[in-house]
Chain A
Amino acid sequence: MTEERDPKVSAAYRDLGAQEPPRALDDAILAAARRAAGARPSALAARASRQRWYAPLATAAVLVLAVATTLNMRLEKPGIESPAHQAPPSAQGPAPVVAEARQKREAEAKPDAVADTRVKDAAKSQSGDEGKNVQRKFKEPSAPAAPEPKPFATDRAAAASPRADEALGAASSVTGKLAGQAEERGARDAIAGARAPQGAEVEALAKRAEEDARPQMQQRQAPVVQSPAPAPAAKPALLERAAALTPEQELERIADLRRQQRHDEADRALAEFRKRYPDYRISEATRERVERR
């Protein structure tokens, strides 16, 4: 209803002055208001200033979380999916030392110049204690850096290995294939376990490997292999060995088998190696040593 307002009347009214209540009256009223409200002065102002920060703060927090999660996933994913591609520092630690030792041996190059320890190892491996010897042989130069994968590798992978070995020993190609898969899976899990053998994770991985191997073996092997599984100690477990070795160590072991003229074992081990590490590039020098000539 602006038509009721006359600008000159309004101006004249404003000229009357803008009286204000006395300060004492203000204080009395505000004090009464605070008492009634339970004395929480300036809470709204504080809330308003907080609200100004809520949106940017929340956005920043979400961004930080998203980036951190993405990075974490990227870092963790390869380790879980393909442990062979990027061995963790603990597993990679001994590799340079092993490579160094291998180069040294290659430089010496003469079969009769093999070190005493190697002769001893070869002798021991023929006596059937192959897995332990191989481990010992490669652990010696890298002992300080190498983690101790034994608890998982020997205890857990061995649980799956008897069945896997049994399958390998069977004539059926189907069971052999299955055994290969189970072995591969078991070995992969075993390697993952050796890489980070942390309590519950190790347990879970071992359990999974065992469970994965068992139903397939039992279901498909039953008509072919009726006999009970041999004792784990009777036949050295390939898985046990594989789980304990890095790719370089595995190749070195195959080369040793070749040197000992155990070509069948070497072929089998090489085939397993290629299955397990399909994208591993074997150097020319190593290939000459591990492949049948």
Chain B
Amino acid sequence: MEAGDEQLMLAYREGDAGAFEQLYKRHKGSLYRFVLRSVRDRALAEELYQEIWMRVIEARGRYEAQAKFITWLYTIAHNRLVDHWRKRGLSLVSLDQDESGQAEPRAGSDYEPQRVLEAKQTLARFTRALEALPAAQREAFLLHEEAGMSVAEIAQATGAGEEAAKSRLRYATSRLKEATGND
């Protein structure tokens, strides 16, 4: 039987580096994609991703078993992204507004999977729709899809109210649904 995330994190807190290794293997992909699809820049995503894990390592002594590890991890990620947005003069609140008219999604090899471009226009539309989502809605959607979080957990990780989290997720899903042609 595999140890739970919380158990592993507590073990790591007690100095067990092997526990961290297991934990990292479990969550590296989803966290990386979450960051990558949030900032839409691979280099920046890698930098932020590493900083998030460094914060996890530094904050291990403050980790309490009451907190679900995944919520704790994505709270750290969210906070790091907020810092990033603030540096850029943006905020999640402003990004929560409809920004579809602000800018076209940047096209680049990192953000447009080759097979999507080649094979499925629908998927291309989906990608563009995801990238076009307001940051807060996209974050809610990515937390839901990548981290498997419920609305309550999204609210907890992002510091938003449950209603706000629910609303963001619903809007995001609705727009992406339009992009896939599922009206």
Contact = CB atoms under 8 A, between A and B. Distances in A.
Given A21-B46, A38-B15, A16 B177 contact: no
Contacts of B29: 18-21
Contacts of A37: 12, 15-17, 20
A12 B113 CA distance: 12
Interface residues of B, number: 50
B28 A20 contact: yes
Interface in A1-40: 1, 4-6, 8-10, 12-13, 15-22, 25-26, 28-30, 32-34, 36-40
Contacts of B84: none
B16 to A, nearest CB: 5
A6 B183 CA distance: 11
Task: Describe A's contact surface by its main secondary structure.
Answer: helix
Contact of B17 (A16, A17, A41): A41
Contact of B180 (A9, A25, A36, A42): A9
A282 interface: no
B126 A12 contact: yes
Contacts of A18: 29, 33
Contact of A25 (B12, B49, B182): B49
B113 A17 contact: yes
Interface stretch (A43-51, A58-66, A258-266): A43-51
Interface string A196-210: 000000000000000
14 contacts: A4-B144, A16-B130, A17-B113, A17-B115, A20-B28, A26-B28, A29-B24, A33-B24, A33-B53, A34-B20, A38-B15, A40-B18, A43-B16, A43-B18
